[in-house]
Structure 1
Amino acid sequence: MAGNTPMMRQYLEIKSRYPDAILFFRLGDFYEMFMDDAVVASRVLGLTLTSRNKNAEDEVPLCGIPYHSSQGYVARLIENGYKVAICEQVEDPREVKGLVKREVVRVVTPGLVLDGFNLQPKENNFLLALHKGDDQMGISCVDITTGEFRVLQCRDMDQARSELLSFDPREVLLDDGDRGEQVLSDLAPVLDGRLVNRLPEWIFEEDRARRLLQDFFSVSNLSGFGCDHLDTGICAAGAVLHYLQQTQLGDIGHLRALTPHSSNQYLVLDAATRRNLELTSTLQDGRKKGSLLGVMDRTVTAMGGRKLRHWISYPLTDCAAIWARLEAVDEARLRSDERERLRMALDGIYDLERLSAKVAMGSAGAKDLVALRTSLERLPQINDIVQGFEAPVLKEVAGDLDVLEDVAELIGRAIVDDPPFVLREGGLIRDGFDADLDELRVISREGKGWIARMEQQERERTGIGSLKVRFNKVFGYYIEVTKSHLSRVPEEYQRKQTLVNAERFITPELKEYENKVLGAEERIVSIEYDLFQEVRQQVALQGARLQNTAEALARLDVILALADLAHEADYVRPVVDDGTAIEIEDGRHPVVERVSPGERFVPNDVRLDTEDDQLLIITGPNMAGKSTFMRQVALITLMAHVGSFVPARSARIGRVDRIFTRVGASDNLASGQSTFMVEMTETANILNNATPRSLIILDEIGRGTSTFDGVSIAWAVAEFLHDNKRVAARTLFATHYHELAELAVTRERVKNYNVAVREWNDEVIFLRKIVKGSAGHSYGIQVARLAGIPAAVVERAKEILRNLESGEFSDEGQPRLARERKRSRPQASSPQLSLFSSGDQELRRRLEEVDVTVLTPLEALNILDDLKKML
């Protein structure tokens, strides 16, 4: 450092405190980056890389960006996984002799973006901390753009994985010890693509975390927040707060409470279920469009969009609370005129949650305050309409609405309608708001008139008709006279500048006026900035009122959106009760029917309970609609628990505590799990955690292994779900193993259903209707042909199928998979084909004794198992 300039020494000292961030170092109207930061930033941002001390041994790479357009550059760096430390000049350069003091005012990371291109309006931007305790997993997350600060505890890693997917954080904090390493390993697939920061273990210590949280909220304990008992969760919350205090060096007082998040209040959805049901994003491309949220989201505000996402991710389980939401949706649906007026009024409201957060943190500009004012001006109209509703939830919204007329009036009196983006150039404050400012503006405005009068006066006095009084930033005010009239210049004129064809002069009177006017303009800018900060601080003091009103508007927006959807899509109000029956008449898949408008959707009925119709075995060919049917039952059940109307003619939903799904096949190569291992792991989770209150969707169990193994596993799983009283969950079980239909004979609560099809000239026609009974065929070959499998392969498959269906062995003991052609008989010594050797008399005797016409599938499998053992 010794050989550097004072400014570079200042830069290096500040940079040493933020080694893992790109430092935006404020120099006048630019943010400059030096050395390695400059090299990285120039590459990522496409900036021209230049240098200080060119052609010297100590050449320093540098690049820069205009400070007033920094948001886009910061966003691109964040998107590429970098942190950015914003270093500002904290002194006015005009008032300081020597080096201006600079400090980092904020560190921007993916989880701590306040505004700009990295924020999605209808999605939270969470920073989340995970801490593994002895027998619990603590989680805490914060969204500094809205002020939400939550804490919870999970019983195991599976629940933590589910919560992580639900919160979908941009940034995750872990300790740098062994426990953090285990979390990182166990959750590797869901942490992929997120910025993970490892913090020292001491930051997660419980005693330290409690003291930090209590000091921040100015409380003696955390009981008032209802989370004092969440020891492991508090460790995570303490880490979150520590990280905020280290990176957000301004005020974070808009975090007003630590809210406990209890899974007992909500219908539990594990990670596989959230993924398989495509609740908020699709499996194919991860986008909102095509998901349940994509269909249901008719909210008109960003706050409402985030609230709806939360409701879908965390459906209720309390019947009274569900009923209250349904009652509000129903009233809003019936009162269409008021609903439309409210939606139109809400449509002009900006994101009050994020605006109030920016105000509280001192990052709001004048345009943000104007957006806040225009939003608040709509509240009286909204309040007048909402006061007329009767549903308890809407009455609660009306009670929580604060129209904030005083805040709107303050901003309206102080800030002009169209202020500039830059705060230190004036033009922010209205006339009439401050007397001193008005007086200075009069002086400044009269300057033009005074100049014009002086110019006319001097022309008359000197007789120089071309004399001009002008101003520029370099020389200030001056009198300009062409050289042809220099002989007429009065003695009191003082020469200031010589030009080719003219001379410029100054007079004592003009100099005095210059000092007065220029001083006024500088003071105007300074006073305006000070007044703006005062107004912003007064608005910040009303942060709690703003947050409460924003929360009420978000709830109102969601209720109106659900009512609009119910009206337009012909949804019905479900009955959600404490019974165990799920009875849906003419149910429809909420997404499929919307994304395929050209094809008439075929509705279906279903009845599930824990007494007579507990486990439905559903058979039928691929593409016939088994998966669509099962998913629509799960989605209708979930929508009812959200408090939404549902796509059906009628629906009675017995309360559900969890929805499980086992659908499809996928590898988890990152953790060394094959397709079949993933399938078995998900199945094990269901069998170990389901209750009679659960709803289970099983789509093909046992398909990732051999046929005999697969049938055996599927059969045993179905028996367990029926026979085990601890589980005995309402279950839809789709399978291509037709043998499972036999369960309905031996198990009283098992029922067979299939997807109806019709055959016509070797073609299969899917009727999409679920009917009683089991399917006779899988029609896999017909589906293969529809998929474009070559005709030769299709015909050969038919031949093999006929041989298999007529008997596995020929009279000579050869497999009937072979074509009808001469081929040498396998030798008895061949271990692979010894099953078909005609010399094996014991096997032949056993096979001849079997009467295949009376065998059940299970008995056939048992015989084959015995034969395997003999081999």
Structure 2
Amino acid sequence: MAYTPMMQQYLQVKSDYQDAFLFFRLGDFYEMFFDDALQASQLLEITLTSRDGGANGRIPMCGVPYHSASGYIDQLIARGHKVAVCEQMEDAKQTKGMVRREVVRLITPGTHTEGKEVESGSNLFLGAAEQAPDGYGLAYVDISTGEASIRHITGGEKELVEEVRALRIRELVVSEQLQLLLNGMAQELILSLESVAGSDVDDQLLVMCPEELKGSACLLLAYVNRTQKQSLTHIQPFRHIEHTRLLSVDFHSRRNLELVEPIRGDGRKGTLLWLLDETATAMGSRKLKQWLHQPLAERRPIEARQELVAALTAEFFTRDALIELLKEVYDLERLSGRIAFGSASGRDLAQLRSSLSKVPEIIRQLEESENESLAAFSRRLDRCEEVAELLTAISDQPPLSAKEGGVIRDGFSEQLDNYRYASRNGKDWIAQLEQEERQKTGIKSLKIGYNRVFGYYIEVTKSNLHLADLERYERKQTLANAERYITPELKEKESLILTAEEESLALEYQLFTEIREQTKAYISRIQTLAAALSELDVLISFAAVAEKYRFVRPTFNDGTAISIEEGRHPVVEKMLNRQGYVPNDCTLTETSNMLLITGPNMSGKSTYMRQVALTVVMAQIGSYVPAESADLPITDQIFTRIGAADDLTSGQSTFMVEMMESQYAITHATNRSLMLFDEIGRGTSTYDGMALAQAMIEYIHKEIGANTLFSTHYHELTSLEDSLDRLSNIHASAMEQSGKVVFLHKMKQGPADKSYGIHVAELAELPAPIIERAHGLLREFEAARHEAPTAEPEQLSLFDPAGERAAAVAEAVGAARIAEMTPLQAMQLLNDLQQKLKS
């Protein structure tokens, strides 16, 4: 039993794209068959039909019109699928037998560069990972802009997945071995297999790649070449990102600090990106996101950015003029990508020309600045005069499709002008002929029309046939209520007009493609210009935000001390519209760099901790900061454990998530890191939680020495100030008025005197009987605690077995090497200790 020849062709093509929907071109439709048709009809909500498959009977089929296929492709890609687009490579009218068909592009979630889902202000990275010494090499590229980077991920698969998440990489290219290791670790991640065997990789793209990391870059380029099947001259050499030169903020910390996306909800509102992004271009918005993802950890480049921000803050008129100019600059990076792909339209080239026309004035504004930093920056901008000159051939308002005509301006090509003159003159002649025929015949409704099948014709309604000059008119077509004619002279003009139009469109499209191809030679220069303009855009945004929100320029010291005077949380302050926000100081010295923070819930402890971290991030991307003054060290890493969240997809509880994030921070931090811990241990029993919190504080104090803010509801831990010389107590102050608690949101020295937990419950409007009962129980608990006999720290009761068990548990906790344990081992230890207490 055999399929028809066409279905055999389909199955042969499909065999190479088993993991993708195959859009098989048949005339004006892309058709899908078999399982593709069954799935696509449900996903896209289109009609499922069938087709004769030969001796095997009818087979499932569905299809979409080729002119609206992009919308359907967008839907499939958004759901994590791949689409192989198979086109007819020959003209069916001029081919005997089966038309040759080939897949011209494989569209995947990581290579989808067009469509409504692609954000203009965000990078769309496709990644590839390969094993490297002490970890993995991670290469990633944005095909729409050509930006390519590579970095070394130290650690195992967990660290690799965290970085992939941080970069928002949806598709990761891997080998079969790594696919097995990563399966199930990140449900949202699409893993695509590739092999570098026999692939042709451009060595020029690898010049900055360390030898041990080249495997991931080669894997990525092999996949891109195989899927895109077209010119990729805009891909830039891989930029090696050295982690020692950047401030590292892991995925969980980035989420907890809400740098680029909020913890709850969608969009950008409530994030640091939302606050800082007043850029004028899509390129600038993407650049800002990159800087937030990778703050600097070197003093000189940070201060170089600060110098430019200072100049732009001082020179208001220059800044305002630059903003207006940048608003008229289109997305040069993505325009370069479309030119390289050969998909750029006449409108794209016109936008490129328009953008380049603004560059000389941008340069002039910078050159005429009195600030040397701005004048020096102007020398980084390339006018790209050759490109601008080349693109003068493009008309001012070209149509979206270059095949419609009107893309090339008059005067560029003499031959094209002649064709256009013949075509326009012929149409004027026809309009004149129509008027003459109406006068000759007296038929006011007579008209001369055109269609593609019959060409030009004279149309006379049947009620006026008796007036027609039938001696000159030759019948061409009969309609229900009209007759269509042609005359010898109209036939002659028709041939001239149609030939001129056809030749004009063909020549114009040829000229357009030649110009687009010549523009490819300048892509690297356009990309260099785009990088400089996007950087300028971000620095202008920093200056505007600093002025609007009263930010100050931070200074840096060579030690580890932090001194922030009247610091503020910039996002919360903006949300409150500056009304009622209470600023706070933060002082960490070389000899006292741990703060134990106590105070009631809702009093601002978490906000205070976050604002310190955000101040560090803002300073190290070159921005001004929300404070009266700030003197900071260069921080290498930020770790946060703030907020409670279950990871339901992997079956992990709040406490397990807390422990895993804490383990990652403790095992990676150095003495130049900033660590934020909020309410560690609240997800387990009181004694377990308190023991873990104290053990962690002691370990950080003794073994790591990092700048640390540790918020806790265990007031018993405040006594650690007496035994740990670098730890100090501060508290979020509150006061009672008429039996009600008032949060002052001000940090003060010393421990909190009470927790105000019942007052918070009262604010939440729990029923009055519950509040009253809670107050009564609290008085009973406090009385019992004061009346209970106490023992000396080293004295245990001879008659109390529980005391012996407690001593054994305390000894086990003290001997435990928590930093060296896996999360599972830590959980097992907790379980063992709990069983000891119960036995």
TM-score (norm: length of structure 2): 0.88
CA distance in 1, matches of 2:446, 2:647: 85
User: For residues 809 and 141 of structure 1, do their structure 2 counterparts lie closer, same or farther at Cα, with a shift above 3 Å needed?
Assistant: same
User: 2:541 is matched by which residue type in structure 1?
Assistant: A
User: For residues 31 and 416 of structure 1, do their structure 2 counterparts lie closer, same or farther at Cα, with a shift above 3 Å needed?
Assistant: farther
CA distance in 1, matches of 2:175, 2:447: 72
Answering whether residue 67 of structure 2 is matched by residue 82 of structure 1, we say: no
Q: Is the 8 A contact 2:311 2:373 kept in 1?
A: no
User: For residues 463 and 734 of structure 1, do their structure 2 counterparts lie closer, same or farther at Cα, with a shift above 3 Å needed?
Assistant: closer
User: 2:603 is matched by which residue type in structure 1?
Assistant: A
Question: Please, what is the CA RMSD of the aligned residues?
Answer: 3.4
Report SS of the residue matched to 2:570.
Answer: coil
Q: Percent identity?
A: 45
CA distance in 2, matches of 1:299, 1:377: 20
User: For residues 42 and 423 of structure 1, do their structure 2 counterparts lie closer, same or farther at Cα, with a shift above 3 Å needed?
Assistant: farther
What does residue range 391-790 of structure 1 map to in structure 2 within 5 Å? Answer: 394-395=374-375, 397-413=377-393, 415-451=394-430, 471-478=450-457, 489-490=470-471, 496-498=476-478, 506=486, 510-597=490-577, 599-611=579-591, 613-724=592-703, 727-790=704-767
* Larger CA deviation: 585-594 vs 478-487: 478-487
Q: CA deviation at 1:43?
A: 3.2
What does residue range 280-359 of structure 1 map to in structure 2 within 5 Å? Answer: 280-359=260-339
User: 1:842 is matched by which residue type in structure 2?
Assistant: F
User: 2:721 is matched by which residue type in structure 1?
Assistant: A
User: For residues 799 and 504 of structure 1, do their structure 2 counterparts lie closer, same or farther at Cα, with a shift above 3 Å needed?
Assistant: closer
- Aligned residues between the structures: 801
Q: Is the 8 A contact 2:561 2:593 kept in 1?
A: no
Partner of 1:174: 174
Report SS of the residue matched to 1:753.
Answer: strand
User: For residues 393 and 35 of structure 1, do their structure 2 counterparts lie closer, same or farther at Cα, with a shift above 3 Å needed?
Assistant: farther
CA distance in 2, matches of 1:164, 1:113: 18
User: For residues 799 and 65 of structure 1, do their structure 2 counterparts lie closer, same or farther at Cα, with a shift above 3 Å needed?
Assistant: same
Partner of 2:809: none
Report SS of the residue matched to 2:116.
Answer: coil
User: For residues 13 and 508 of structure 1, do their structure 2 counterparts lie closer, same or farther at Cα, with a shift above 3 Å needed?
Assistant: farther
Q: Is the 8 A contact 2:262 2:271 kept in 1?
A: yes
CA distance in 2, matches of 1:745, 1:480: 105
User: 1:256 is matched by which residue type in structure 2?
Assistant: Q
Answering whether residue 164 of structure 2 is matched by residue 164 of structure 1, we say: yes
Q: CA deviation at 1:248?
A: 0.3
* Larger CA deviation: 539-548 vs 161-170: 161-170
Q: Is the 8 A contact 2:427 2:497 kept in 1?
A: no
* Larger CA deviation: 767-776 vs 509-518: 509-518
What are the Cα deviations for residues 780-815 of structure 1, in whole angstroms up to 9, with x where unaligned?
11111212222222222222221221125989x9xx
User: For residues 338 and 470 of structure 1, do their structure 2 counterparts lie closer, same or farther at Cα, with a shift above 3 Å needed?
Assistant: closer
User: 1:76 is matched by which residue type in structure 2?
Assistant: Q
User: For residues 383 and 463 of structure 1, do their structure 2 counterparts lie closer, same or farther at Cα, with a shift above 3 Å needed?
Assistant: closer
Q: Is the 8 A contact 1:576 1:655 kept in 2?
A: yes
Partner of 2:792: none
User: 1:797 is matched by which residue type in structure 2?
Assistant: A
User: 1:140 is matched by which residue type in structure 2?
Assistant: A
CA distance in 2, matches of 1:601, 1:126: 38
* Larger CA deviation: 480-489 vs 390-399: 480-489
Q: CA deviation at 1:55?
A: 14
User: For residues 52 and 673 of structure 1, do their structure 2 counterparts lie closer, same or farther at Cα, with a shift above 3 Å needed?
Assistant: closer
What does residue range 115-264 of structure 1 map to in structure 2 within 5 Å? Answer: 115-133=114-132, 135-157=134-156, 158-177=158-177, 179-185=178-184, 188=185, 191-197=186-192, 199=193, 203=195, 208=197, 212=199, 215-218=201-204, 222=206, 224-225=207-208, 227-229=209-211, 231=212, 233-264=213-244
User: 2:454 is matched by which residue type in structure 1?
Assistant: F
CA distance in 1, matches of 2:481, 2:590: 103
Report SS of the residue matched to 1:110.
Answer: coil
Q: Is the 8 A contact 1:132 1:183 kept in 2?
A: no
Q: Is the 8 A contact 1:111 1:126 kept in 2?
A: yes
CA distance in 1, matches of 2:105, 2:801: 82
Partner of 2:362: 382
What does residue range 785-796 of structure 1 map to in structure 2 within 5 Å? Answer: 785-796=762-773
Q: Is the 8 A contact 1:161 1:271 kept in 2?
A: no
Partner of 2:824: none
User: For residues 682 and 143 of structure 1, do their structure 2 counterparts lie closer, same or farther at Cα, with a shift above 3 Å needed?
Assistant: same
Partner of 2:826: none
CA distance in 2, matches of 1:844, 1:21: 67
CA distance in 1, matches of 2:16, 2:748: 69
CA distance in 2, matches of 1:182, 1:779: 48
What are the Cα deviations for residues 391-416 of structure 1, in whole angstroms up to 9, with x where unaligned?
67645542221122332333232x22
* Larger CA deviation: 540-549 vs 697-706: 697-706
Q: CA deviation at 1:570?
A: 0.3
Partner of 1:267: 247
User: 1:631 is matched by which residue type in structure 2?
Assistant: R
User: For residues 446 and 752 of structure 1, do their structure 2 counterparts lie closer, same or farther at Cα, with a shift above 3 Å needed?
Assistant: same
CA distance in 1, matches of 2:10, 2:219: 29
Q: Is the 8 A contact 1:397 1:555 kept in 2?
A: no
User: 2:250 is matched by which residue type in structure 1?
Assistant: D
CA distance in 1, matches of 2:291, 2:311: 19
User: 1:278 is matched by which residue type in structure 2?
Assistant: E
* Larger CA deviation: 422-431 vs 264-273: 422-431
CA distance in 2, matches of 1:502, 1:318: 83
CA distance in 2, matches of 1:357, 1:527: 25
CA distance in 2, matches of 1:183, 1:499: 69
Larger-Rg structure:
1
Q: CA deviation at 1:171?
A: 1.4
Partner of 2:776: 799
User: 2:160 is matched by which residue type in structure 1?
Assistant: A
Report SS of the residue matched to 1:412.
Answer: helix
User: For residues 76 and 702 of structure 1, do their structure 2 counterparts lie closer, same or farther at Cα, with a shift above 3 Å needed?
Assistant: same
Report SS of the residue matched to 2:289.
Answer: helix
CA distance in 2, matches of 1:777, 1:98: 89
CA distance in 2, matches of 1:404, 1:336: 28
User: For residues 564 and 629 of structure 1, do their structure 2 counterparts lie closer, same or farther at Cα, with a shift above 3 Å needed?
Assistant: same
Q: Is the 8 A contact 2:106 2:227 kept in 1?
A: yes
Q: Is the 8 A contact 1:397 1:553 kept in 2?
A: no
User: 2:713 is matched by which residue type in structure 1?
Assistant: H
User: For residues 640 and 502 of structure 1, do their structure 2 counterparts lie closer, same or farther at Cα, with a shift above 3 Å needed?
Assistant: closer
User: 1:216 is matched by which residue type in structure 2?
Assistant: D
User: For residues 131 and 788 of structure 1, do their structure 2 counterparts lie closer, same or farther at Cα, with a shift above 3 Å needed?
Assistant: farther
User: For residues 797 and 270 of structure 1, do their structure 2 counterparts lie closer, same or farther at Cα, with a shift above 3 Å needed?
Assistant: same
Q: CA deviation at 1:507?
A: 5.6
Q: CA deviation at 1:244?
A: 0.7
Q: Is the 8 A contact 2:74 2:115 kept in 1?
A: yes
Report SS of the residue matched to 1:274.
Answer: helix
* Larger CA deviation: 55-64 vs 771-780: 55-64
Partner of 1:113: 112
* Structure 2 unpaired stretches of 5+: 790-796, 805-813, 815-832
CA distance in 1, matches of 2:127, 2:16: 24
What are the Cα deviations for residues 368-408 of structure 1, in whole angstroms up to 9, with x where unaligned?
22222222222222111122346676455422211223323
User: For residues 599 and 459 of structure 1, do their structure 2 counterparts lie closer, same or farther at Cα, with a shift above 3 Å needed?
Assistant: closer
Q: CA deviation at 1:58?
A: 3.8
* Larger CA deviation: 564-573 vs 453-462: 453-462
Report SS of the residue matched to 2:580.
Answer: coil
